[in-house]
Homo-oligomer: A and B are copies of this chain.
Amino acid sequence: MQTNGKFTVAIHICTYMHYSGKELVTSQQIADSVKTNPVVIRRIIAKLREAGIIGSIAGAKGGFFLNKPVEQITLWDIYLAVKENDLFYKPKPNPDCAVGSNLASLVDDSFEAAELSMKGALSNTNISMLNERLEKILNTEDMLSC
């Protein structure tokens, strides 16, 4: 998986939670769908929780739930929630070189603008829409759920 794998898994988590129709899903159930470990899922959910996208209930019969209307959970919200680094690597200054010592400030605006430009594309899609697309695909197939 790449650096951005968390984003994709986070979308998977939200889509799965909505699609399942259950009020509460466990990290184990999600992990089965994603084919990974429950701890990996809980780590990503921790970030989605901080962002107010997911809520959790501890203890027996506990689990996770979507904490906002699915129409209001966009891919951009999820992107921001799980983002850890800037999109592009910020060069470390090399003080011995005119170019190397200033490169970061030269590209900073462009890098920020590029990342922000994705907002438009990613805000267009929300979890409700992903679920609609999914239902449409599944109506034309026979498919097992997990």
Contact = CB atoms under 8 A, between A and B. Distances in A.
Contacts of A19: 98-99
A34 to B, nearest CB: 7
A116 B130 CA distance: 20
B146 A89 contact: no
Contacts of A8: 88-91, 103, 107
Please give the count of copies of this chain that the complex contains: 2
Interface residues of A, number: 57
A134 B4 contact: no
Given A8-B90, A98-B146, A117-B118, 5 more contacts: A4-B87, A19-B98, A33-B94, A33-B97, A110-B121
Interface of A: 1-5, 7-9, 11-12, 15-16, 19, 32-35, 75, 85, 87-91, 94, 96-103, 105-107, 110, 113-118, 120-122, 124-125, 130, 133-134, 137-138, 143-146
